[in-house]
Amino acid sequence: MSPRKSVAEARETRARILDRSVAIASVEGLDGLTIGRLALDLGMSKAGVLGHFGTKEALQLAALREASAVFSRLVWEPNAHLDAGLPRLHGVCESWADYLVRARDHFPGGCLFTTAAVEYDARSGPVRDAITRLTVFWQHRRLGFDLRAAVALGELRPDADVEQLVFELTGIYLSLNQAVQLNQAADAQARALRAVDRLLALEAPVPG
């Protein structure tokens, strides 16, 4: 076997492990990621799984990074080219809702970040820190950026409270995830998007 083929196969195996890890964690939480479970699911030895990550914590952190990459690919990247402000924010919100409802191939148990946040919010350590960093980045560097841009462009009132809007938008999507996962509500996506439109409409500039 050539070294190049060996490296390619190792990358492919690592990708398979991470794909399965994300799926398991979305249903059972990050603590549900065990080397034995992954080895059984993937038809590998425990040593083969462990060799790619070293520790369970390293596997959990890698699963979070992979989930973040999938989330970005499904929610952010399709809208990154849109104009900053409300055009991109509306696009992101639509893709975000679609992700929560339809991304079952990657997240059969719903949003991994919601599951992980509940699982780790009362703990400390690197996994909790990683969840916090990813959440803060999304809320303040993505949502907050476009909300601030919308204020600067006059699409929202100059006195709009961006932090409050981020808080309320996040709440809408937490509610959507619960409605989809727990209640299996068929109209949840439409309701969430109406809530987004209503929230942003309340902050529209008053014609002068």
Q: Is 67 a domain residue?
A: yes
- pLDDT mean over 174-193: 94
Q: Does 149 reside within a domain?
A: yes
Question: Rounded mean pLDDT of 17-29?
Answer: 92
Q: Is residue 130 domain-resident? A: yes
Q: Which residues contact 111 (CB under 8 A, 6 or more apart)?
A: 26, 99, 100, 177
Distance CA 116, CA 64 (A): 9
Is position 83 within any domain? yes
Domain count, the chain: 1
Domain that holds residue 172: 56-202
- What are the residue ranges of helices labelled H in 137-187? 144-152, 162-181
Q: Span 85-111, mean pLDDT?
A: 93
Asked if the structure places residue 24 within a domain, the reply is no
CATH number at residue 197: 1.10.357.10
Q: Check residue 5 and give its pLDDT.
A: 52
Whole-number Å distance between alpha carbons of 60 and 67: 10
Whole-number average pLDDT of the chain = 92
Lookup: tokens for 52: 């790619």
For residue range 104-156, list pLDDT tens digits in order. 888 888 889 999 999 999 999 999 999 999 999 999 999 999 999 999 999 99
Residue 26 has pLDDT above 70, yes or no: yes
184 assigned to some structural domain = yes
Residues in the chain: 208
Decide: pTM greater than 0.85: yes
Residue 12 in domain: no
